[in-house]
Amino acid sequence: MVKFAQYLAHGEVAYGVVENNVVYQITTTPFEEYEVTDHTHPLDHVELLSPIYPNKVLAIALNYVSHLGKTGAAPRAQPEKPEPFWKSSGAVIGPDEEIIIPRDAGRVEAEGELVIVIGREGKHIPKADALDYVLGYTCGIDVSARVWQKGDVQWWRAKGSDTFAPLGPFITTDLDPSKLHLITRVNGEVKQEAPTSDLIFDVPTIVSFISEVVTLEAGDVIYTGTPGIPPVIEPGDTVEVEVTEIGVLRNSVVSDE
Ligand code: MG
């Protein structure tokens, strides 16, 4: 198991491997051959960035039974196939960055999710081989503006407004994605909690299904869906998403003034 961070230190962006709250800079990126250097920083001395700024951000709707019919913006029936949608890559932000609630957005919710990080290019990936194409996993918040999600033809702003795709803090490799635990908190209070074994469509099924029509590339990410009832967020709130062996992604919420 390796934990990768992307960070800013002394004005330079780098990738590193995190062990015992120390980050060891690596020579390239997690998506290439790399060597771990002896150039280190205490974790709390660097500014963590999103562990990846992806070309493609996909997300799966309706992927926990506990979530079906809970948003007022989605049908209640359990889907018979994965239901991916696009989020904007421009919406990605890192740990501790602010989620900006757009003017006139109305009700906005924070969906805590396990996020797949693709490790290498593939198309028509068989389900049995799918995990070979996954580098690791991170935490994500699928920020969702419900009025727009329900009323617009497309989810371009409901799911793709600036800052609506927080990711981080780390990419952790070699996890069993069916044996993780997801928790979402707002201002310290637990709002969502589920084992990832509850996913209706598991990680190999999702990767295989998407790759039938979309070439997945190193660094692309797939949000896997959210359980239960996602919390409403408002300016002044702090949202945390925690996943086993990955860590806590924390973002504060502000209004677009
Ligand atoms: Mg979602």
Ligand 1 centroid to Cα of residue 227, in Å, is: 9
3-state secondary structure of 85: strand
pLDDT score, position 181: 97
Q: What is the pLDDT of residue 248?
A: 98
**Mean pLDDT of all residues belonging to the chain:** 96
Ligand 1 geometric centre to CA of 102 (Å):
18
Task: State in Å: Cα 10 to ligand 1 middle.
Answer: 35
Q: Give yes or no for a contact between 204 and 127, defined as CB atoms under 8 angstroms apart.
A: yes
Res. 74: pLDDT tops 70: no
Q: How many whole angstroms from its chain centre is CA 27?
A: 25
Tokens encoding 125:
């990936």
Ligand 1 center from residue 120 Cα (angstroms): 24
For residue 15, the CA-to-ligand 1 centroid distance in Å is 27
pLDDT score for 66 = 84
pLDDT score of 63 more than 60: yes
CA 223 – ligand 1 centroid, Å? 7
pLDDT in tens, 132-142: 999 999 999 99
Residue range 116-131, pLDDT digits in tens: 999 999 999 999 999 9
Residue pLDDT, tens place only, 7-18: 999 999 999 999
E strand or H helix that includes residue 192: strand 189-195
Instruction: For residue 19, report the distance from its CA to the centre of ligand 1, in Å.
Output: 30
Output the CA–CA distances (angstroms, integers) from residue 97 to 164, 251, 253, in the order listed: 11, 6, 9
Q: What is the per-residue pLDDT across 185-243, written as a single tens digit (0 to 9) for each?
A: 999 999 999 999 999 999 999 999 999 999 999 999 999 999 999 999 999 999 999 99
Q: Which residues contact 153 (CB under 8 A, 6 or more apart)?
A: none
Say how many Å lie between the CA of residue 170 and the centre of ligand 1.
19
Distance 42 CA to ligand 1 centre (A): 33
Of the pLDDT bands very low, low, confident and very high (cuts 50, 70, 90), residue 257 is confident
Instruction: Give residue 8 CA to ligand 1 midpoint distance, Å.
Output: 29
The CATH H-level superfamily of 57-255 is: Fumarylacetoacetase-like, C-terminal domain (3.90.850.10)
pLDDT grade, residue 73 (50/70/90)?
low
- 186 C-alpha to center of ligand 1: Å? 17
Q: Residue for token digits 């407004």?
A: 161
CA of 114 to the centre of ligand 1 (A): 10
| Residue 38 CB coordination number (10 Å) | 6
Contacts of 119 (CB under 8 A, 6+ apart): 30, 31, 133, 134, 135, 136, 218
* Closest-CA residue to 197 (of 220, 181, 215): 181
Q: Strand 247-255 and strand 98-101: pairing?
A: parallel
Which helix H or strand E contains 203, and what residues bound it? helix 203-211
Mention every residue, 6+ apart, whose C-beta is less than 8 A from residue 165.
57, 87, 88, 89, 91, 92, 93, 140, 141, 142, 143, 223
Nearest to 183 by CA among 79, 110, 98, 254: 110
The model's pTM: 0.96
CA of 211 to the centre of ligand 1 (A): 19
Domain 3-48 annotated CATH 1.20.1070: no
pLDDT-based confidence at residue 72 (cuts at 50, 70, 90): low
pLDDT band at 68 (very low <50, low <70, confident <90, very high): confident
Q: Please indicate whether the domains covering 3-48 and 57-255 agree at the CATH topology level.
A: no
Q: Can you give the pLDDT at residue 218?
A: 98
In the chain, where the domains are located: 3-48, 57-255
* Percent of all residues in the chain with a pLDDT value above 90, rounded to a whole number: 93
pLDDT value, residue 191: 97
Task: Output 257 or 155, whichever has higher pLDDT.
Answer: 155
Please report, as a single letter, which amino acid is at residue 106: G
Of 219, 28, 201, whose CA–CA distance to 122 is shortest?
Answer: 219
* Cα 196 to averaged position of ligand 1 atoms, centre (Å): 14
Ion ligand 1: residues, CB within 5 A, are 111, 142, 226
Please tell me the distance between residue 228's alpha carbon and the centre of ligand 1 in angstroms. 11
pLDDT tens-place string over residues 24-47: 999 999 999 999 999 999 999 999
Structure tokens at 73: 């913006």
Q: What spacing in Å lies between the alpha carbon of 146 and ligand 1's midpoint?
A: 12
